[in-house]
Amino acid sequence: MKNQFIHTYVSVDCVVFGFDDEQLNILLVRKNEVNAKDLKLPGSLIYNEEDVDDAANRVLFELTGIKKMSLRQFRCFASPDRASKPEDVKWLDKEYQPNINRLITVAYLSLCKIDRKLNNVSKYKQTKWCPLNEMPKMPFDHNKIVKKSLIEIRRWIEYDPSIVFELLPNKFTISQLHRLYEAIYDKQIDIRNFHKKVAAMPYVVQLDEKQKNVSHRAARYYKFDKKARNKFKANI
Amino acid sequence: MKNQFIHTYVSVDCVVFGFDDEQLNILLVRKNEVNAKDLKLPGSLIYNEEDVDDAANRVLFELTGIKKMSLRQFRCFASPDRASKPEDVKWLDKEYQPNINRLITVAYLSLCKIDRKLNNVSKYKQTKWCPLNEMPKMPFDHNKIVKKSLIEIRRWIEYDPSIVFELLPNKFTISQLHRLYEAIYDKQIDIRNFHKKVAAMPYVVQLDEKQKNVSHRAARYYKFDKKARNKFKANI
DNA sequence: TCAAAAGTGTTCGATATACACCCATGC
DNA sequence: GCATGGGTGTATATCGAACACTTTTGA
């Protein structure tokens, strides 16, 4: 047995984005009491007969109860010292087993409606939607992963603009969609140009329904039409 | 020791693109005689104290003698059966050690001038630039990796158009650059519009030199100016 | 009637596309 | 002189950016 080659555990970590009508949030979890204050990205070691994509799907299913969430692998993080801080080693000891000297992780992006009822009870002591600008200090290199994920989510949306609707309720107003775009790109977007842009999306369809009991002109609701999206995609 | 979690070796595999003035090529290698006919992607298991990026740099350095080649991680391939074909297991036995039951790999893109003298002697029995449309059947999931890499290289170039110059000689003609773009995007590009496009790149600068001994009007040479590129980038 | 957010068009500049002929060179 | 590839300009369409006022509703 040559010893110079790494022989290691591999994990997945998921950066799950949500949108609270004001800003992007990321779903963090706390699993046990070792470091009571430490929230982290949801993740897991991967099993023997499991692909990394399947492991990410499993983690997300345990969190949300959704079988096949949209997800996108974006990077393997493998710095030799990413799991070497004493508190992180301690956490690994307790959560998995002692003597995990090194841990490689594969990071995933995913999107989730923020009002989705989560499987709080089963696996996690706590789950928390955390606004992007209030990220706590997290264990391992999770802060670095979140930072990189912001670049990737923009690239993902550029590649497939229709995924943003996974961040919105089934019916939404143009205004909500507008705020979402502003949050993602972190800049102001002219509302008139934005209306035109949305009008050019055949997969955003107007509903008959309007807002009720709002102290201003009621906004129309829209929905995302998946079939129209697929037809539209096929034409490009 | 819980047994259900994967405990595995991790490798890197590099898809190195080159351009032969007609089409894109990929650099394949053959390391030993076990499967004498099998060319594969250059790669290596990663060492104990090594990051994956460093491992990819090491593989590329051993191939080309270049210390810091441009490279880009694009995906972790971890299907449980990717290294389970008998001939692949046999290869791992011989090349590394027996009983590697599973192998996860992290795939990288890189670019190399095709006339670069390679370190043929040292490590590889054979290295070969292989045109994209003549890819042989390769071991593991290397054919799948190459397929995915084609999508990624376009995304990379869109993100940073100036990397294409790593595929061309230090001095090149517009015509060469034109053929390269056509090969990358696999479509015809109008030459007049292309000239305009190049003229708008401040980092592509005309040289005084022209082609010699060609049986047609001699083309001007151009070079890529890295400093101008960086200044240009900073302005965006 | 006031506050608050919804909804709506036009103009301009930049960028991408389509398209055809003359030029320089070696043989 | 001819075959081969090099080099050039103009017109049109498309897309994104800038910009301000009227409408609807509840309080």
How far apart (Å, rounded) are the C-alpha atoms in residues A189 and A50? 43
Domain B8-158 has CATH 3.90.79.10: yes
As a whole number, mean pLDDT of residues A218-223 equals: 97
**A 73-92 residues inside an 8 A Cβ radius of B:** 73, 75-76, 78-80
Question: What global pTM score does this model have?
Answer: 0.93
Q: Look at the alpha carbons of B3, B4, B9, B10 in this order and tell me if their dihedral is positive or negative.
A: negative
Question: What percent of chain B lies above the pLDDT cut of 70?
Answer: 95
Q: Which residues touch strand C (CB under 7 A)?
A: A 173-175, 190-193, 195-196, 215-220; B 190-193, 196-197, 210, 212-218
pLDDT digits (tens, 9 = 90+) for A81-92: 999 889 899 888
Would an 8 Å CB–CB cutoff place B102 in contact with chain A? yes
Over residues B15-72, the pLDDT tens digits come to: 999 999 999 999 999 876 655 568 999 999 999 999 999 999 999 999 999 999 999 9
Beta-carbon separation of A4 and B48 below 8 A: yes
A159 CA: distance to closest CA in chain B (Å): 9
Nearest to B112 by CA among B70, B154, B54: B70
Using the predicted structure, report yes or no on whether residue A104 has a pLDDT greater than 80: yes
Using CA atoms, how far residue B223 sits from A45, A171, A186, in Å, is: 49, 54, 37
For residues B114, B115, B120, B125, the Cα torsion angle rounded to the nearest 10 degrees is: 50
Q: Where are the domains of chain B?
A: 8-158, 161-234
Touching check for A157 and chain B: CB below 8 Å? no
The string over B204-226, giving b where at least 16 C-beta atoms fall within 10 Å of a residue's C-beta and e elsewhere, is beeeeeeeeeeeeeeeebbbbbe
Q: Is the pLDDT of residue A65 over 60?
A: yes
For B47, the closest of A4, A46, A76 (CB atoms) is A4
Please give the CATH architecture assigned to the domain spanning B161-234: Orthogonal Bundle (1.10)
